[in-house]
Chains A and B, each alone.
Chain A
Amino acid sequence: MNEKKKKRVVRALLYLFMIICIIVSFAPILWMSVSAFKPEGEILSYPPQWIPLHPTWSNFAYVLKNFNFARWTFNSVFAALMATIIVILIDSLAAFAFSKMKFRGSKTLYAIILSMLMVPIQVTIVPLYLMFADVNLLNTITALILPTTGNVTGVFILTNFFRSVPENLLDAAIVDGAGSFRIWWSIMLPLARPSISAVAIITFMSNWTNFLWPLISVSSDASRTLPVGIAQFFGGQSGVSGSAPQYGPAMAAALMATLPAIAIFLFLQRYFVKGVMMTGIKG
């Protein structure tokens, strides 16, 4: 009897812990969403209201009218998509070469590429800036795409995967007259779909949330990305007039920037989890 009682108490405590986790994780997101719909007079009401009395779209309208929000969103999405496509093409080709072809210096080259896993972007950012300044690419979307395409993690993950593809599968294809390019496109890429999805998600997300490099490399509003625009116009340190941030529009902007990511996450959760696990393995 005692044992049973103890078990029940433990279970209750576990559920309590679970509820706390859920509330703490979700309340800030909910509060952001609620605040985004509050009119100007209501947002600073105290005590805080979880349900807006007079819900309104005015904050969204204000953001879209006064800031180049649509443009920032387009830049962010476009840069992240392009970077992802380029990374997948380059990384899968490189991984195919490293795993299935024998050529001079392949091991050395692979070792050099892997050692680049250890170099974080912060370290290379000053030289990178000068290089882009030299070729007049600062303030362009190219500047937002190019640096993230040197993605070593993807090469590593895909090389590991391709190594597990049995050789006789490739031999059969060669006998049937397929060239290397054909093998890469019609055998390797389809087989690696789960790994590629994970790499794609890692790449897309890291480009999508990238902050330091876009902050430095782009100063014109036309090529600004979402994270930078939000930081500069809704963050605490600048604000349009240098005054305290206007929370209503800030939350509307935050919500618009967040919803697509959360939607993608909910649909592709499996691949997110896989992507995270793979970043863990690389270390």
Chain B
Amino acid sequence: MSLTKWNIVGQAKFVGLQNFIDLFRDTNFTRSLVNTLYFMFLTVPALVIGGLLIAMLVDQSLKGRVVTRTLVFMPYVIMSTVVGVIWLWILDARFGILNYYLSFLGIRPIAWLSSVNWAMPAVAIATIWWTIGFNMILFLAGLQDIPNELKEAARIDGASSWQVFWSITFPLLSPTMIVVVMLTLINTFQVFAQVYVMTGGGPAMATLTVVQYMYVQSFQYYRLGYGSAIAYVVFIFLIAFILLERKLLKRSGDLN
């Protein structure tokens, strides 16, 4: 289908690779790709490192760890579009609570969703809040698989907590790490609902993402052939992530 020109009514017309050629000349498409990568840059490190830190926190024998685990995971069960609506309200430029509390830190009100510079970070904040619990659970499972005796033994040998982390926990956690990183990459690359609700791709296309562009081209302009070509690009990216993951997992499996 990606090789046809087709706008729902009438017949599909074979156009060879024309859609793909157009795609790479289409500055809006390039824009959406760059935006998506920027979104990933904002969310992936925070989701992975943050998820790991919280998992390590609730892995300690502290009071309240079960409550913390439950509450951190809770946003994940909320629908993506509801997440968008909640954060629209929190981030409201004039009446939102975030700007209110930031004002205590001496930060002037930020027009989160209508500013070209802040719209993407705003979507990123909502996304991190929404999905970090998912990564926490995966890391927690990984942490609990590491036998306690290993850590104990190292401690008896006089290793500091820091050394225990870097030379025991971290290496043994690497398969989990790879899985979490890849799942996060795959999910963030497909960001759509939050953007649809919070910004609609605006302002001035500052938050237009790839999947959203595919949606707009296919189902608002009904350029189905062109939309399929975009879908192919998405597919190629995702397959690349997955193959990379397989390769890394295999290598880390060989090492252990």
Contacts and interface: CB of A to CB of B under 8 A. Distances in A.
Interface of A: 11, 14-15, 17-18, 21-22, 24-26, 28-29, 31-32, 35, 43-44, 46-48, 118-120, 122-127, 129-130, 205, 208-209, 211-212, 215-216, 226-228, 230-231, 234-237, 245, 247, 250-251, 253-254, 257-258, 261-262, 264-266, 269, 272-273, 276-277, 279-281, 283
B80 A211 contact: yes
Contact of A273 (B64, B84, B137): B137
B29 interface: no
Interface residues of B, number: 72
B84 A262 contact: no
A122 B190 contact: yes
Interface stretch (B30-38, B40-48, B229-237): B229-237
Contact of B80 (A15, A123, A227): A227
A21 B190 contact: no
Contacts, number: 205
Interface of B is mostly: helix
Interface of B: 1, 53-54, 57, 60, 62, 64-65, 67-68, 70-75, 77-82, 84-90, 92, 94-95, 97, 100, 113, 129, 133-134, 137-138, 141, 176, 179-180, 182-183, 186, 190, 192-193, 196-200, 202, 211, 214-215, 218-219, 224, 227-228, 231-232, 234-235, 238-239, 242, 245
B77 A265 contact: yes
B78 A261 contact: yes
A231 B196 contact: yes
9 contacts: A18-B64, A25-B133, A26-B71, A32-B89, A122-B214, A231-B84, A231-B197, A236-B200, A283-B242
A28 B79 contact: no
Contacts of A35: 89
A215 B239 CA distance: 25
A250 B219 contact: no
Contacts of B218: 125-126, 129
Contacts of B214: 122, 125
Nearest to A231: B81
B69 to A, nearest CB: 9
B68 A227 contact: no
Contacts of B215: 212, 215-216
B19 to A, nearest CB: 12
A116 B81 CA distance: 27
Contacts of A273: 73, 137
Contacts of B85: 230-231, 234-235, 245, 250-251, 253-254
**Most chain B Cβ neighbours within 10 Å, of A11, A32, A118, A126:** A126
B181 to A, nearest CB: 10
B76 to A, nearest CB: 8
